[in-house]
Amino acid sequence: MIYNIMFIAVCVALFLFLWNAPPETTTRLPHDSDHESFHTMDKKAAEKFCGECHNPDGVRPLPEGHPPKYRCLFCHKKDG
């Protein structure tokens, strides 16, 4: 009986912790002419193209302290 109560207490605590999580703030994959073709691709296929523009000499380099760039669409999600 005590284990059931402890289990329920842990579940409630976990639920309350997750309920109070901050909202998602990471920018989604844009719907513009540069990114539109990537919305129809598989994640892994689309991520191969990110480095073409998002490199130190590219059109839009990654900001200082940005996490590793090999899993772009893990954070920058596609719609749908």
Tell me if 28 sits within 8 A of 76, measured CB to CB.
yes
Residue 80: is its pLDDT beyond 90?
Answer: no
Give the residue extent of every domain in the chain: 25-80
pTM beyond cutoff 0.75: no
pLDDT classification of 79: cutoffs 50, 70, 90: confident
Distance CA 40, CA 43 (A): 9
Residue 69: is its pLDDT beyond 80?
Answer: no
Please check whether the domain covering 25-80 is classified as CATH 1.10.1130.20: yes
Q: What does the pLDDT look like over 4-51, one tens digit per residue?
A: 999 999 999 999 999 998 888 888 999 999 999 999 999 999 999 999
Tell me if 61 sits within 8 A of 55, measured CB to CB.
yes
